[in-house]
Chain A
Amino acid sequence: KAGVTQTPRYLIKTRGQQVTLSCSPISGHRSVSWYQQTPGQGLQFLFEYFSETQRNKGNFPGRFSGRQFSNSRSEMNVSTLELGDSALYLCASSLDFRGNIQYFGAGTRLSVL
């Protein structure tokens, strides 16, 4: 069974641009969560999706948004990039939203210049 796939693996953007990151969950998994990891703040929860609906959102500004498609694939978008958005963005999938084991992808490393 293929694991969680995140694309692209690396991305370089400049301030003010926007970016879209993609996540393909494990086949059969319907819940997708996103996390941001930085050296200063560690791993922080961004949002959680199940059946195309956002169920939970972390404490991030509205520039961070996401969506989930009917095939459970998910995208997250960051608009008007700031230097502080440089981070590793991780996606995790699980069977459903009931706190099952989460399987993480390798992440997308975003650098904002």
Chain B
Amino acid sequence: DAKTTQPNSMESNEEEPVHLPCNHSTISGTDYIHWYRQLPSQGPEYVIHGLTSNVNNRMASLAIAEDRKSSTLILHRATLRDAAVYYCILRDVGRDDKIIFGKGTRLHILP
């Protein structure tokens, strides 16, 4: 499975945008980029996913580099409830359901 690299931790101020980077230089053409997050004392939850084009939903935006070797999860206006571990994952959709999680980025939000 292709691997992703994320910073161990990041800090951001409340009500400011947050850009969470992810490198995936060995991504294959059929890999989708998925983001999940895990809030304290909860199971992971889906945030967003994309293949080539940038994606937006009510939670976040996903910006994907043209060569697909990196991507950025954007939280437009961070709140204290966004403090979580964010996982960037590559999934070969259509093959199986298992998710290979990395260490993720622990996001701290400062009030």
Which A residues form the contact surface with B (CB < 8 A)? 4, 31, 33, 35, 42-45, 48, 50, 55-56, 58, 90, 92, 94, 96-107
Q: For the side of the interface on B, what is the size category?
A: 20 to 34
Provide the main secondary structure of the chain A interface. strand
Judge whether B97 is part of the interface by a CB distance below 8 angstroms.
yes
CA of A43 to CA of B94 in the docked complex: distance in angstroms? 22
Which of B38-46, B59-67, B68-76 has 4 or more CB atoms under 8 Å from chain A? Answer: B38-46
Q: Which of B90-111 contact A (CB under 8 A)?
A: 91-104
CB-CB under 8 A from B95, the residues of chain A are 98-99
CA of A106 to CA of B39 in the docked complex: distance in angstroms? 10
CB-CB under 8 A from B46, the residues of chain A are 101-103
CB-CB under 8 A from A103, the residues of chain B are 45-46
